[in-house]
Structure formats: structure tokens, C-alpha cells
Amino acid sequence: MQNSFPESFSFHRDDFPADFVFGAATSAYQIEGRQFGGAGSCHWDTFAATPGNVPRGDDGARACDHYHRYAEDLDLVAAAGLDAYRFSASWARVMPRGTGEVNVEGVDFYDRLVDAICERGLQPFLTLYHWELPSPLADRGGWCNADIAAWFADYADVLLARIGDRLHAVAPINEPWCVAWLSHFLGLHAPGLRDIRAATRALHHVLLGHARVLEVVRARGAGAAGAVFNFEYAAPADGSDASARAARFYDGVYNRWFLEAVCHGAYPADVLELLEPHLPDGWQDDLATIAAPLDWIGINYYTRKLIAAAPGRALPAVAETVGDLPQTSMGWEIYPAGLGEFLRRVAAASGGKLPIYVTENGMAGADEVVAGAIDDRARIAYLDAHVAEARRALADGVPLKGYFVWSLLDNYEWACGYDKRFGLVHVDFDSLERRPKRSWYALRDALRPTA
Ligand code: GCO
């Protein structure tokens, strides 16, 4: 099947502006190994330990053991010819109880890591929260508790005081939609709640936390301060009014909620109409803070959804249906045009000048080691089609500054455990051996400078 796909990329780095950044992305819980180095427990440990949430109860206790193997992993980023590395820090590694006492070993680890990134000539792009909330804070209501903005700012300040001087860019939170809606309304990620009030509060507090930490990033002079959103293209599943309404709500809570809040200091009226009863008192007073200027916006983009109405629930209940486009191993349709759409939409919403990055794009594939090699041409085709969209957007004047592949390594894919492989580099989860896939070699060729 791989034979029907190209062996190489159709672009070369020379097709892009000289300062265009190519990178790879990872996150702490997905690769580091939570059991190492004195990190505290987090809500993903207990979510995974709850039967039914994750296949086999897989968790991030060992993951890729990046904690000990980071040098080898960064060598792979550099050897691919990439310019930047996007990674996250674990709050529970820095502050095992979420507040108060600092785990010096944890801060030392990030200090070594950032040095190792810089030594290889890579630009460090840090995310401060990629989903592993310290358990003691989950006990206090986590993202449903307004105090989280202050807790988050304290943690950010401790870490940035140590490593902020060497960072190229910082985003407080990875994918606020996942932190709030996926985790508190759909219940598919930790803490696994299905509650409209909890979800709505989290939708607001995640933006407030973002804004408070933005202030810390600026006060510490820790690189360019941005925000990273996952956007998903939503189209009505059929021509009915009900599906059109459902798709509009889906787009509203997934995409417009965040974009309008940070760009215009407002929540979209149609979504607000449904969620306002559940927002915390005084939410309006936070909007000016939430809309504080950004230095850049990152877009994580993977797929589209066809949305139909699901009757019988109070909200415009949405049903996700799958169309007839080819799918990745996640069951996600491959729809590169959606990336172009969001690049234009974000450029328009943010005034046309604000630097934009594609901070994640990639696919899970059935990547097997055959005779020592991994032939993932389907991934080359996927990435190639999305990079082509990025080029088109650039040609249309979108201020796109870089593109990051998700992910460097096969890793802990959250509620899918270790079953889904997104890496440019294959990881054997028994031996922990790393093996570059065909896509890694092809990317290296595409990025190799012309003599
Ligand atoms: C996300 C996260 C990553 C995922 C990736 C694939 O977008 O969900 O940033 O942690 O692993 O997206 O699902």
C-alpha cells in the first residue's frame, strides 16, 4: 500500500523564505517518563489507571524515557536538518504538588535540556502546559477553579526564572480546547468529566491562565509570547438546517471561542447564548486581560469533521460523522485544504501581520519495522500535502513563519496509549530503540541546504 505514495517530498527549503523555520514537536508527558527525576503525580496518571479510559491502562510512567535519552533525541532533530524544537515542560516535574516546593532535579533537567537544544543550533519553543496537571491541583478542582491562573503563573515564573533567558518562543498552553472541552465535556481526556458547568468554567479559566502566564513570560523577557490552538475544520454533514446549526456550534466552541477571545476580547455570541449560565461570575472583567497582545499564534491542525445534529439533548448536540476521504490510523480524514483555510482565517482575525506558525501537523500510521526499516510513505504524502497548503497560504500573503511536524518520536498518544504512532522516528516501546522512518530521511533531503 505504501508503494502508491511518493518516496520524497515535493518541496525544498529553498521554496520558503530564508528565515522560515522547520521544526518537530513533542510534549513532556508523552515522551519523558513521569517516574524519573522526582516528578509528582498528575491527573493523566490516575485517568490512565481508571479502567476503560486508555487501552491496557497505558500511562506515561516510562514513555520514551526521553528524561535520560534527550541528547540522542535532540541529535535526531539536528541531523534531520530542522531549525527548531517545540517541547513542553511538566508542571508536576517542576512543582510536584503544583504549588510551593520546587523539585530542583526537575528544574535542572529543563536547564540541561534547553542548553542541549541551543548547543545543537536549534531554536527552543517551549510550551508550559501540555496537559499534565499536578494531582493536588486536580483535587482542588483543576481548571474549574479560578485560582488556577495564579497557580499556573507561579509555576511559570519558577521555571522561566531559570531557563527563560535561552528560549526563542513560549506558549503558555497547548490546545486550550482539549484542556477544557475534550477533558471536561466530552470526558475523553483527563480528568474525564462530562459536565457542562465544569467545561464552561474550564473554557474561561484556561484563557485566563493563558493571559496570566503571558504576563510572566513578558516580565521574564522569555522569548516571543504566543498561543497555540488546535483548530478543526467543521462542515455540516448534510444540507439540513439542523446540521448547519450543529456545525456552527462545533466551529464556535472549537475554534471561534478562542480566536475571538484572544484577538477581539469577546466570546462568540452564538456560543455564549448557550454557555453563559455556566460561566464564573465576573467573567466579562477578564476579557481585556485575555485579549492582551500576542507575539505569535500557533495552529495545530490534523483533520476535518462532518457534523450532524444529534437530537434530544439540551445543547445543539453534535454528532461527528466520517466522510469518504482517506483516513489516518486515528480514523481522522485527511483534508489538507482545512489547514489553508485556518491559516487565512487566523491571519484575518489577527490583523494580517502577526506571525503565525503551524505548531503541529502530522499523522498516525501503521508503521512497522520490516527488515530494519520503516516505510511510512503515507506520512510523506500527508506532510507534503499540508506543506503545499502552507506554501499557498504564504503566497497569498499569510505571515506564516514556520512549520512543525507532530511528532519527533512515536510516543504516548493519550487515550490511545502506545497504539498510535505519529513519529518521524520509530520507537520500540520494549527496548526503547529509536529508528528514523523513511519520512525522517525524506525530510532531511528536503531540508538539506543547496551547495
Ligand atoms: C494534540 C496534542 C498532541 C497529540 C497529537 C495527536 O494535538 O492532541 O498536541 O499531544 O499527541 O495532536 O493527537
Distance 106 CA to ligand 1 centre (A): 23
The CATH code of the domain that includes 34 is 3.20.20.80
Tell how strand 318-321 and strand 296-309 pair up: antiparallel
Q: CB under 8 Å to 333, separation ≥6 — which residues?
A: 303, 304, 305, 322, 323, 325, 326, 327
Separation of CA 366 from chain center: 22
The answer, yes or no, to whether residue 371 has pLDDT greater than 60, is yes
Would you say how long the chain is, in residues?
451
Strand intervals (E) in 132-244: 169-173, 224-236
Task: Give the number of other CB atoms < 10 A from CB of residue 121.
Answer: 9
What is the predicted pLDDT for the residue at 355?
98
Separation of CA 23 from chain center: 14
Residue 231 domain flag: yes
Which of 119-123, 144-148, 239-243 is predicted least confidently? 239-243
The answer, yes or no, to whether residue 451 has pLDDT greater than 90, is no
Query: DSSP state, 421?
Result: B
What are the phi and psi torsion angles at 68 (to 5°)? -100, -20
Bridge partner list, 23: 84, 404
For residue 54 the three cell numbers come to 486508555
Question: What are the pLDDT digits (tens) for 408-432?
Answer: 999 999 999 999 999 999 999 999 9
Distance 416 CA to ligand 1 centre (A): 11
Distance 38 CA to ligand 1 centre (A): 25
The per-residue b/e assignment along 204-243, b for 16 or more CB within 10 angstroms, e otherwise, is bbbbbbbbbbbbbbeebebbbbbbbbbbbbbbbbeeeeeb
Please give the single-letter amino acid code of residue 4.
S
pLDDT-derived band at 1 (thresholds 50, 70, 90) equals low
CA 229, 138, 291, 212 torsion-angle sign:
negative
Distance 62 CA to ligand 1 centre (A): 18
Distance 232 CA to ligand 1 centre (A): 12
What percent of the chain lies above the pLDDT cut of 70?
99
Residue 451 domain flag: no
Distance 175 CA to ligand 1 centre (A): 9
Pocket test for ligand 1, best of 54, 231, 300 (most atoms within 8 A of CB): 300
The answer, yes or no, to whether residue 3 has pLDDT greater than 90, is no
The answer, as to whether pTM is greater than 0.75, is: yes
H or E element that contains 48: helix 43-48
What is the predicted pLDDT for the residue at 314?
66
Spatial contact of 440 and 4, defined as CB atoms under 8 Å apart: no
148: left (phi over 0), alpha (psi -120 to 50) or beta: alpha
Separation of CA 279 from chain center: 25
Q: Read out DSSP for 240-306? A: -HHHHHHHHHHHIIIIIHHHHHHHHS---HHHHHHHGGGSPTTGGGGHHHHT---SEEEEEEEEEEE
The answer, yes or no, to whether residue 167 has pLDDT greater than 90, is yes
Determine the structural domain holding residue 233 and report its residue range.
Answer: 2-446
What is the predicted pLDDT for the residue at 4?
85
Question: What are the pLDDT digits (tens) for 69-97?
Answer: 999 999 999 999 999 999 999 999 999 99
How many domains, in total, are found in the chain? Answer: 1
Distance 404 CA to ligand 1 centre (A): 12
Rounded Cα distance between 183 and 179, Å, is 6
Atom of ligand 1 lying closest to residue 174 CA = 9
The predicted model gives 160-189 an average pLDDT of: 98
Which of 124, 92, 118, 125 lies closest to 107, judged by CA?
Answer: 92
Mean pLDDT of the chain: 97
Peptide bond before residue 350 is cis, with ω within 30 degrees of 0: no
Tell me which residue has its CA closest to atom 4 in ligand 1: 413
Residue 279 domain flag: yes
3-state helix, strand, coil in the chain (%, to 5): 45, 20, 40
Query: DSSP state, 364?
Result: -
Residue 239 domain flag: yes
Tell me which residue has its CA closest to atom 6 in ligand 1: 413
What percent of the chain lies above the pLDDT cut of 90?
97
What is the predicted pLDDT for the residue at 430?
98
Question: What are the pLDDT digits (tens) for 30-54?
Answer: 999 999 999 999 999 999 999 999 9
Which of 88, 28, 36, 86 lies closest to 61, judged by CA?
Answer: 36
Residue 162 domain flag: yes
Pocket test for ligand 1, best of 126, 182, 339, 414 (most atoms within 8 A of CB): 414
What is the predicted pLDDT for the residue at 315?
78
The set of catalytic residues is: 175, 360
Which of 141, 73, 60, 153 lies closest to 112, judged by CA?
Answer: 73
Q: CB under 8 Å to 12, separation ≥6 — which residues?
A: 446, 447, 450
Residue 125 domain flag: yes
The answer, yes or no, to whether residue 226 has pLDDT greater than 80, is yes
Spatial contact of 444 and 79, defined as CB atoms under 8 Å apart: yes
Burial of 48 (0-12, 13-18, 19+ CB in 10 A): buried
Q: Which residues line ligand 1 (CB under 6 A)?
A: 27, 30, 174-175, 178, 230, 300, 360, 406, 413, 422
What is the predicted pLDDT for the residue at 2?
65
What is the predicted pLDDT for the residue at 56?
98
Tell me which residue has its CA closest to atom 13 in ligand 1: 413
Query: Nearest 5 degrees, angle CA 121-CA 123-CA 129?
Result: 140
Rounded Cα distance between 197 and 104, Å, is 37
Atom of ligand 1 lying closest to residue 422 CA = 6
Distance 178 CA to ligand 1 centre (A): 9
Question: What are the pLDDT digits (tens) for 282-325?
Answer: 999 999 999 999 999 999 999 999 999 988 766 778 999 989 99
H or E element that contains 401: strand 400-406
What is the predicted pLDDT for the residue at 213?
98
